[in-house]
Amino acid sequence: AQSVTQPDIHITVSEGASLELRCNYSYGATPYLFWYVQSPGQGLQLLLKYFSGDTLVQGIKGFEAEFKRSQSSFNLRKPSVHWSDAAEYFCAVGASYQKVTFGTGTKLQVIP
Amino acid sequence: GAVVSQHPSRVICKSGTSVKIECRSLDFQATTMFWYRQFPKKSLMLMATSNEGSKATYEQGVEKDKFLINHASLTLSTLTVTSAHPEDSSFYICSARVSTGLPYEQYFGPGTRLTVT
């Protein structure tokens, strides 16, 4: 069965610092991978997705992620974090029957 | 584009009553919609997959008689929580897949906060 692991439950970074959120997946075939962001009390917004092709994908709000098949990873990065980036981030993998399996999320705190 | 709405955004009901939550795709047709439940500080748990014009497919452990799902049109799916109890209190999120889109590409609604007293 497919699964997603986000090893960091909570991360704190200073505004302007770089960010990397880790995501590892387990899936038997070529994965479809996603990163979503959720602000408190809100739904999920798609940041970026990987289906095929270039392993470095660009998303909205200055985020990017790199698919590394050998490491089964899809880490999310941003070179300079803004206070408005504070939120919960979910990595997800596309599974069978169109279902998406989500990781447990990483809560990002940004300090001035 | 690809906007999904949910109504209501927040609802409080008494134990034993039923609550209906609507999920609408506003600017696209969605043959498939999904209903998730999110517990505090937890990830999203898929409850069921809803296909237009057919019965929903429920995930293991989800009571289909308690969580009634209807997908009557290509733009509307409803989740009815029947005989709600305090343990049903949660954040419910729907998503919709674009009919002509890539597999797995889903757009999420803003969620509905259900509180059962």
Tell me the pLDDT tens digit for each residue of B73-82.
889 999 999 9
Does position B48 have pLDDT exceeding 90, yes or no?
yes
Q: Could B32 and A43 be called an inter-chain contact, meaning their C-beta atoms sit closer than 8 Å? A: no
pLDDT of res. B104: 65
Q: Could B97 and A98 be called an inter-chain contact, meaning their C-beta atoms sit closer than 8 Å? A: yes
Measured CA to CA in angstroms, residue B106 lies from A68, A69, A98, A105, B100 at distances of 23, 23, 9, 18, 12
Residue B87's Cβ-count burial label (10 Å; 0-12, 13-18, 19+) is: exposed
Q: Is B58 on the interface with A (CB under 8 A)?
A: no
Strands B112-116 and B10-13, by their bridges, are parallel
Residue of B nearest to A42 (CA): B110
Using CB atoms, which residue from A45, A90, A97 is nearest to B43?
A: A90
Interface of A to B at Cβ within 8 Å reads: 32, 34, 36, 41-46, 49, 51, 90, 94, 97-100, 102-105
Q: Is B5 on the interface with A (CB under 8 A)?
A: no
Shortest Cα distance, chain B CAs vs residue A18, angstroms: 25
Name the residue among A35, A52, A11, A31 with its Cα closest to residue A90: A35
Residue of A nearest to B114 (CA): A41
User: Which position has the token pair 């419910």?
Assistant: B92
**B24: Cβ contacts below 8 Å, ≥ 6 apart:** B4, B5, B6, B7, B75, B76
Distance CA A54, CA A56 (A): 5
Distance CA B98, CA A91 (A): 20
Helix, strand, coil % (nearest 5) of chain A? 10, 55, 35
DSSP B82: -
pLDDT of res. B102: 66
Contact criterion met (CB below 8 Å) for A44 and B93: yes
Measured CA to CA in angstroms, residue A105 lies from A24, A25, B61 at distances of 12, 13, 22
Specify the higher pLDDT residue, A95 or A60.
Answer: A60
Distance CA B73, CA B79 (A): 14
Please provide the average confidence, as pLDDT, over all residues in chain A: 91
DSSP B103: T
Structure confidence by residue, pLDDT tens digits, B81-110 = 999 999 999 999 999 987 666 666 788 999
In DSSP terms, B91 is beta-bridged to B38, B113
Provide the pLDDT confidence category of residue A3 given band limits of 50, 70 and 90. confident
pLDDT of res. A42: 82
Q: Is B4 on the interface with A (CB under 8 A)?
A: yes
pLDDT of res. A43: 84
Q: Which of B9, B25, B43 to mutate to test the interface with A (most CBs of A within 10 A)?
A: B43
